[in-house]
Amino acid sequence: MKGEVRLGLNIPLFVASIVSIGTGTLVGMVAIWWYLAWGLPAPEWQKVSHAHAAWWSAIILIAAMLLPSLELRRWVKRFIVWGTFIGPVFWVGVIAAYYELGGGMIWRFRDPLIESYYSIPVLGVIAGILEFLGFLAMSIVALSAAGIRLPFLHDHGARPGRYDLLSDVYIPRKVFLIPFLIITIGVVTGFILTGFFKSIGLPIRPAALVQLHDHTALLALSALIILMLTRVLKAPDEIFEGMYRLMVIGLPLLTIGLILFVLDIFPSVAWVLPAGIYYLIPVSAALYSSGLISRISLAGYLPAIRVASAICLFGILLLVAQGAYIALVWDVSPDVTVTYRQPEGVEYPGPYPDEYLGTAPVKNSPRGLENAHLSPGSWYHIALTWLMMLGAVGDKIFRGILGRPNLIYLFIVTIPAAPTFNMLGRYLAWAGIPNGIGALFFAGHPLKGFNIISLFILGLYLIYRLSRSGGDG
């Protein structure tokens, strides 16, 4: 089908996505337990790398589902796999060294003539190269999936490899270009923030540049995930096309609104209203997956995956609406952020601080609501990508390769449960309920850890089985 791309799963790239989410989750858990054990605020690098590595994993898994059917040269596909292994994961380690060792000046040498020491900036450059490597690999996948033939990279006769699985699900190529362009704007903004502010230790001014960086990329990725999921769940064409049109209209207007907000030309409503157009995408998907509209009979594992997806989508609806509330009530100026603890004598919420003092307290504060908006919202999106993967190739994996057709239900149940307990714990902590955060610590974290570890083992075992059988797909 010329205007569509067939979904599947490249197993090594799937493993890379699990390594990325595992790295991000481990860093986040260390930050939380660090605070619980010693009362120390999480270092800034933990906050930054935790979120980046986790969201990178969603992009990598989408790439893993697209790669088997893309007409790319063999060496290009190998670059994509290795680039995603090396880029985001090694980037976390470099960022940790950057902050813990006092910045980018890690190599020092002595000048014997003037009895002085010089430092060579390397860590910041290496971090930038590693993240650019991952972004370049994902850009090749996105452009190829969108139907753009890349010179020297295209191979018309390319076939799926030994570690590739193919499904019977096809996605229109047109859905990939707009999210890629909007995500690129967010990524470029991130590089600017790093180069002009963080690399020389300056606070980000205006603070809303952070929103231009993350909200463009994350909402574009969210829209793409949800559109792909509804295709896997066999949504009718009129529902899918309606959601696609909302994306085409909403994402560019959201980006323009954020730029106008950053420039202090319009208040935060300038980007919240376009975000409302995006919001109709998860609304449509939630109504479909819950059976409230278009009750299509599904077979195999899809009915169970549809229910699990509905749980995640309704959670996302609540958390995204909460983000809009934060933007309209507190984040009303481009110089205000609800994230950080402010210096003594400065009213909270306030500007991006000159010195990192940790994040603001959670109980009964905007920061507590932001915690609930960001963390379980991210977990729910990761859950949707996993459910999408199971819907596309779950039958081939669990029934065809493993011969354990019922094992998939363990994942279908636990995947949406983890972010739900995360959300519950965050809300209880914000409300000041004693030990309420335990829902996250003692249910959400173990479930998320189980999912990551078990999916990692599954990926390695699939590589082993396919290496012996000569492949499937």
Average pLDDT, the chain: 89
Dist CA 313 CA 384 (whole Å): 8
3-state secondary structure the chain: CCCEEEEEEEHHHHHHHHHHHHHHHHHHHHHHHHHHHHCCCCCHHHHHHHHHHHHHHHHHHHHHHHHHHCCECHHHHHHHHHHHHHHHHHHHHHHHHHHHCCCCEEEEEEECCCCEEEEEECHHHHHHHHHHHHHHHHHHHHHHHCCCCCCCCECCCCCCCCCEEEEEEEEEHHHCHHHHHHHHHHHHHHHHHHHHCHHHCCCCCCCCHHHHHHHHHHHHHHHHHHHHHHHHCCCCHHHHHHHHHHHHHHHHHHHHHHHHHHCCCCCCHHHHHHHHHHHHHHHHHHHHHCCCCCCCCCCCCHHHHHHHHHHHHHHHHHHHHHHHHHHHHCCCCCCCECCECCCCCCCCCECCCCCCCCECCCCCCHHHHHHHHHHHHHHHHHHHHHHHHHHHHHHHHHHHHCCCCCCHHHHHHHHHHHHHHHHHHHHHHHCCCCCCCHHHHHHHHHHHHHHHHHHHHHHHHHHHHHHHHCCCC
Contact 186, 238 (CB under 8 A): no
The pLDDT value recorded for residue 96 is: 72
Q: Is the pLDDT of residue 89 over 50?
A: yes
Residue the block writes with tokens 């990725």: 221
Least confident among 8-12, 70-74, 191-195, 303-307:
191-195
Contact 18, 452 (CB under 8 A): yes
pLDDT digits (tens, 9 = 90+) for 237-288: 999 999 999 999 999 999 999 999 999 999 999 999 999 999 999 999 999 9
Dist CA 237 CA 349 (whole Å): 45
* Domains of the chain with bracketed CATH: 4-469 (1.20.210)
The pLDDT value recorded for residue 452 is: 97
Q: How many CB atoms lie within 10 A of CB 466?
A: 19
Contact 431, 439 (CB under 8 A): no
Q: What residues have CB less than 8 Å from 318, skipping those under 6 apart?
A: 423
Confidence of residue 471 (pLDDT cuts 50, 70, 90): very low
Average pLDDT over residues 124-133: 81
Q: Is the pLDDT of residue 91 over 90?
A: no
Q: Is the pLDDT of residue 109 over 50?
A: no
Q: Is the pLDDT of residue 120 over 80?
A: no
Q: How far is CA 251 from CA 210, 213, 215, 274, in A?
A: 17, 14, 10, 7
Closest listed residue to residue 121, CA positions, set 136, 103, 146:
103
